[in-house]
Amino acid sequence: MQNDQSETLSGRFEALRAAARRDPYPSAQERRRRLGVLESLLREHMEEFVESINGDFGNRSPYETKALEFFPALDCLRHARRRVGGWMRPRRRATGLWFLPAKSQVIPQPLGAVGVVAPWNYPLLMAVGPLVDALAAGNRVMIKMSEHAPRTAALFARLVAEYFDRDEVSVVEGGVEVAQAFVALPFDHLLFTGSTEVGMSVMHAAATNLTPVTLELGGKSPAIIAPGYPMAHAVERIMVGKTMNAGQTCIAPDYVLVPEGSEADFVAEARRVCARLYPDMAGSTDYASIIDERHFRRLRRCIDEAAADGAEVIRLGPEMPPETRRLAPHLLLGSAGLSKGLQQEIFGPILPVIGYRDVDGAIAFVNARPRPLALYVFDRDAGRVERWLRDTVAGGVSINETIMHIAQHNLPFGGVGPSGIGRYHGRDGFDTFSHLKAVFRQSRLAGVALFNPPFGRRLTALLKLVLRA
């Protein structure tokens, strides 16, 4: 089976690469056409995708799927279609004084065949988002869908085969063995979204072919509430960011730092917020299930381990039947909330809350850990905000908000260090999936022959001129 699948993958890849060689620089009109086809696919089958994603999770609100997957997917499609012509144009660059009147420019060129490995938590958006950028850049694209969202994977694969030619976009289903064969293909660029541990394996496999990679890896994204900031507003935005998709979001707040002594205020506000957001958590379909039994057991184990280590565990909702895989939001108070299994990205509705004495201590706490994908700062002191930004390193930041920086088309999205490599979204995604070719155009009036041998007094005088301090 593995050999057959590998041959199938290889055949699909070769079809994409051959097509890219036949048409290495698709016109703006052709790129807009492909983006339009993708938009039609999404719009005409929205309800089918809503149903398939709900089935994969066991329960996820159709409103949440439309707001968190369809809205950003369609929005980025519109953004790319309107701007792709401008992104494609050669970009003028300044030429060094000594080389004038020559001209310099950068020409964006399609890479060819691009691979995308999509995760299960937003199984449609995390496939479509990179696909939009890669198609805008003029590439052919092959997507490996997550086996943990099999209904969505099967639906997307079927529809892509109906809407696109096989040498334009190809969608692959399958488990770990298929994924391993997929990332070993000699793509011209490979984008992977998932855990840091798997990302290491992906990078290792890509290195065999010297395939450049973009890795979106998540991590421990902190939220910090500054002294004096209105607790009610901060908690509302943090809990909204934490409970969407039941915390199964790569940039969900992973832990919260609050001024020492205000932990009880945070808990009280969190109770009110959750009661308002999900007044009937057990009976409502608004609150998502955990994707599968393995992740559900992992999260329960994390809570039990933190409690055994001394963390105070506060449940912000009812205990729900385990067969529903619905886990109420839990707060873990104290430093024990980051013990054992919680040292890794939580990826669920568990939120450690830790007190800090001063700004220096909060910054040191964040910097003592791997650099996060996102940082959330709640502070109205402009000078202090600048310090949070200057003295910490994170892939992206939202000030007095959570999540929203990812929705800005003109901001790059990506991690740093253990939280990822590279970035995409909008023009940054177009550039990621393009070769930015440097071009130097010599003038007829060039004086470079003055530097030709045989060397002598003429070159000595020129070097004295160009090397002067």
Residue 227 sits in the same domain as residue 304: yes
Please check whether residue 334 lies inside any domain of the structure: yes
> Tens digits of per-residue pLDDT, 147-158?
999 999 999 999
Please check whether residue 373 lies inside any domain of the structure: yes
Task: Label residue 311 by pLDDT band (50, 70, 90).
Answer: very high
Residue 374 sits in the same domain as residue 425: no
Strand order of the β-sheet with 103-110 is: 91-93, 103-110, 434-441
Higher confidence at residue 402 or residue 339? 402
Residue 240 sits in the same domain as residue 126: no
* pLDDT for res 457: 85
What CATH code is carried by the domain that includes residue 350?
A: 3.40.309.10
Kindly state the average pLDDT of the residues 133-144. 98
Task: Label residue 5 by pLDDT band (50, 70, 90).
Answer: low
H/E run at residue 225? strand 222-225
> Which amino acid appears at position 340 of this protein?
K
**β-strands 103-110, 91-93 pairing:** antiparallel
Instruction: Compute the mean pLDDT over every residue in the chain, rounded to the nearest whole number.
Output: 95
> Tens digits of per-residue pLDDT, 59-116?
999 999 999 999 999 999 999 999 999 999 999 999 998 899 999 999 999 999 999 9
Residue 267 sits in the same domain as residue 186: no
Instruction: Look up the domain containing 161 and give its range.
Output: 2-217+419-437
Contact 366, 213 (CB under 8 A): no
* pLDDT for res 469: 53
Residue 155 sits in the same domain as residue 280: no
Q: Please, which residues have CB within 8 angstroms of residue 328's CB and are 6 or more apart in sequence?
A: 274, 281, 315, 316, 317, 318, 319, 320, 349
> Tens digits of per-residue pLDDT, 386-400?
999 999 999 999 999
> Tens digits of per-residue pLDDT, 182-238?
999 999 999 999 999 999 999 999 999 999 999 999 889 999 999 999 999 999 999
**β-strands 374-378, 396-399 pairing:** parallel
Residue 423 sits in the same domain as residue 311: no
* pLDDT for res 340: 63
> Tens digits of per-residue pLDDT, 414-423?
999 999 999 9
Please check whether residue 374 lies inside any domain of the structure: yes
Q: Over 60: is that where the pLDDT of 6 sits?
A: no
Q: Over 70: is that where the pLDDT of 310 sits?
A: yes
User: For this structure, is 76 an active site residue?
Assistant: no
* pLDDT for res 3: 43
- In this structure, how many other beta carbons lie within 10 angstroms of the beta carbon of residue 74? 18
Task: Select which of 69, 76, 168, 250 is catalytic.
Answer: 250
Predicted TM-score of the model (pTM): 0.94
Residue 23 sits in the same domain as residue 107: yes
Residue 48 sits in the same domain as residue 109: yes
Please check whether residue 244 lies inside any domain of the structure: yes
User: For this structure, is 216 an active site residue?
Assistant: yes
Residue 392 sits in the same domain as residue 423: no
Please check whether residue 463 lies inside any domain of the structure: no
Task: Label residue 339 by pLDDT band (50, 70, 90).
Answer: low
Task: Label residue 303 by pLDDT band (50, 70, 90).
Answer: very high
Please check whether residue 396 lies inside any domain of the structure: yes
Residue 96 sits in the same domain as residue 153: yes
Q: How many domains does the chain have?
A: 2
Residue 58 sits in the same domain as residue 140: yes
Residue 142 sits in the same domain as residue 229: no
Report percent pLDDT > 90 for the chain. 89
Q: From the centroid of its chain, how far is CA 204? A: 20
| Omega of the bond leading into 212 within 30 degrees of 0 (cis) | no
Q: Please, which residues have CB within 8 angstroms of residue 430's CB and are 6 or more apart in sequence?
A: 80, 84, 87, 108, 133, 136, 137
Q: Pick the range with the lowest mean pLDDT from 6-20, 57-71, 251-265, 308-322.
A: 6-20
Task: Select which of 39, 69, 168, 216 is catalytic.
Answer: 216
What CATH code is carried by the domain that includes residue 75?
A: 3.40.605.10
Task: Label residue 4 by pLDDT band (50, 70, 90).
Answer: very low
Contact 2, 125 (CB under 8 A): no
Q: Over 70: is that where the pLDDT of 124 sits?
A: yes
3-class secondary structure, 378: strand
Closest CA to 194 of 132, 240, 146, 242: 146
Please check whether residue 277 lies inside any domain of the structure: yes
* pLDDT for res 1: 34
Please check whether residue 450 lies inside any domain of the structure: no
